[in-house]
Amino acid sequence: MLRCEESPPGQLLLAIRQFNCREWYECHETIEELWLGETGEMKDFLQGTLQISVALLHWRNGNYGGAVSLLTSGANYLKRVSDVCLWVDVPALIADSERVRVALEELGTERMESLESTLLPQIKTVSTVRHSSPSEE
């Protein structure tokens, strides 16, 4: 069982690389292996990330409804999670996903392929290193 405060396992680092390289199907497969058997906050984190990955795959394949629906539900899962989970900047991923969803809704089914590639989310990581204050040295 993983916990958000921990360092990410290698399998999640692979999934992040796959996501950021727009290998959304592969990312989905990698996260699914981690997701099975998890509970609580970790399950929500992995399921939310997995759904956003699949949403982007749906967008690329022309499935407007699937993309919008999974961007919404993926962000909703992530809203239940700590701000930093396994080094991932969760609020940034939520905001990026919501920005894509809004843009898709504005474009509609007929123009969804016109989505600016600069809007596609990236999973960002944050430093979790605790710096000592001068009084602790």
Residue at 91 is within a domain: yes
Q: Is the pTM of this model over 0.85?
A: yes
Query: How confident is residue 135, by pLDDT bands cut at 50, 70 and 90?
Result: very low
Residue at 29 is within a domain: yes
Residue at 133 is within a domain: no
Question: SS3 of 85, please?
Answer: strand
Residue with tokens 């000592």, as numbered in its chain: 132
Domain CATH code at residue 70? 1.10.3450.10
Residue at 31 is within a domain: yes
pLDDT digits (tens, 9 = 90+) for 58-115: 999 999 999 999 999 999 999 999 999 999 999 999 999 999 999 999 999 999 999 9
Rounded to 5°, the CA angle 74-80-96 comes to 45
Q: What is the pLDDT of residue 13?
A: 96
Pairwise CA distance, residues 60 & 37, whole Å: 29
Domain count, the chain: 1
Give 31-57 as a DSSP string: HHHHHTT--HHHHHHHHHHHHHHHHHH
